[in-house]
Structure 1
Amino acid sequence: MWGEVEVPEKDVYQFPKGLPGFEEETEFALIPWEDTPFSYLQSVREKDLSFLLVSPFTFVPNYSFELNEVDKEELEIVEQVSVYSMVTIHSQTNKSTMNLLAPVVLNPEQRLGKQVVLHQTPYETRHLIWAEDEAKSVKGGV
C-alpha cells in the first residue's frame, strides 16, 4: 500500500501482546495521514496489515476512561499517554465509525502500546464519527 516508508524510531511502538486477533504482530509504526486528524498503525513485519486510527477527542471531546493499574504497569506509564480509536471506514463516509470501547493506548516515552478493552462503560465499538448534521457537510470522503 505504501511502498517503502522510512519511519523514525520514535514512531515505532512495541505491542508486547500484539493486538486482539493479531497477537503475533508486536511492532507497529504510527504514521500520520498528512493534513487529516487520522494516522495509520502499520505493522513493521507485515506490510499488508495496518489500522486507521484517530484521536477520539477530535470527535468526542468529553471521552474519558480510567486506565487500570495493570494496564498502566504493562505500558510503564508515568506521565505521558496517547489515546487513539480504531476507525472503520464505510463506503458511505458518513457511516464510518470509531471504536471507543477498545482504545489503543500508547506510551510515547517508552514506545509501548496496547489495545485496552474497557469494562462497565457506555462506549461502543461502532460510534459514528460524524454526527448526522456534521455528516451532511462531509463531501467526497475523508
Structure 2
Amino acid sequence: MWGELEVGEEEVYHFSKGLPGFDEENRFVLIPWEDTPFIYLQSIKEPDLSFLLVSPFVFAPDYTFELPEADRAELEIDEEVSVYSIVTIQSEVSTSTMNLLAPVVLNPSKKIGKQVVLHQSSYGTRHQIWPAKDTNSGKGGV
C-alpha cells in the first residue's frame, strides 16, 4: 500500500495480544495521513493490513472514559497516553463511523498499544463521524 518504508525499531508499537480478530499481528507503526486528522496503524508483518485511526476528540469532543486499572498497568501508563478510534469508511464517505466502544490506547513513551473494550459503556462501535445534515434546512415554504 505504501511501498517500501524505512521504520526504526523505536517507532514500532507492540500489541501483546494483537487486535481483536488479528491476534497474531502484534507489531504496528503509525503512518500519518498528511493534511488530515487521520492516521494509519500499519502492521509490520503483513503489508496489506492497516487500520484507519482518528483521535475521537476531533469529532466527539465530549468523549470520555475511565481506563480500567488492569489496562493501565498492562500499558505501563504513567502520564502520557494517546487515544484513537478505528474508522470504518463507508461507500458514502459522509456516513463513515468510528468505534468509540473499543478505543486503541497507546503509550507513546514505551511504544505499547492495546485495543481496549469499554465494558459498561454507552458508546457504540459505529459513531457517526460527520453528523447527518438536516436536508430540510434552508428550504422555505409559504
Match in the other structure for 2:46: 46
Q: Distance in 2 between matches of 1:6 and 1:35?
A: 21
Secondary structure of 1:17's aligned partner = coil
Letter in 2 for 1:115: Q
Matches within 5 A, 1:91-130: 91-130=91-130
Letter in 2 for 1:12: V
Secondary structure of 1:133's aligned partner = coil
Q: Deviations over 1:65-97 (max 9, x none)?
A: 000110001000000000000000011011100
Match in the other structure for 2:4: 4
Secondary structure of 1:48's aligned partner = coil
Match in the other structure for 1:65: 65
Q: Distance in 2 between matches of 1:125 and 1:61?
A: 17
Q: Deviations over 1:9-39 (max 9, x none)?
A: 4431000110001010110001110000000
Question: What TM-score do you get using the length of structure 1 for normalisation?
Answer: 0.91
Which of 1 and 2 has greater Rg? Answer: 2
Q: Distance in 2 between matches of 1:51 and 1:15?
A: 14
Q: State the aligned residue count.
A: 134
Question: What TM-score do you get using the length of structure 2 for normalisation?
Answer: 0.91
Uncovered stretches (5+) of structure 1, i.e. residues with no partner: 135-142
Letter in 1 for 2:106: L
Uncovered stretches (5+) of structure 2, i.e. residues with no partner: 135-142
Matched, 1:82 2:82: yes
Q: Distance in 2 between matches of 1:109 and 1:4?
A: 26
Answer whether contact 1:87 1:96 (CA < 8 A) is retained: yes
Q: By how many angstroms is 1:133 displaced? A: 3.0
Residue identity (%): 69
Q: Distance in 2 between matches of 1:16 and 1:10?
A: 16
Q: Distance in 2 between matches of 1:5 and 1:60?
A: 32
Q: Distance in 2 between matches of 1:95 and 1:4?
A: 32
User: Aligned-pair RMSD on alpha carbons?
Assistant: 1.2
Q: Distance in 2 between matches of 1:18 and 1:7?
A: 19
Match in the other structure for 1:140: none
Q: By how many angstroms is 1:8 displaced? A: 4.2
Q: By how many angstroms is 1:102 displaced? A: 0.3
Q: By how many angstroms is 1:113 displaced? A: 0.1
Answer whether contact 1:11 1:31 (CA < 8 A) is retained: no
Letter in 1 for 2:125: T
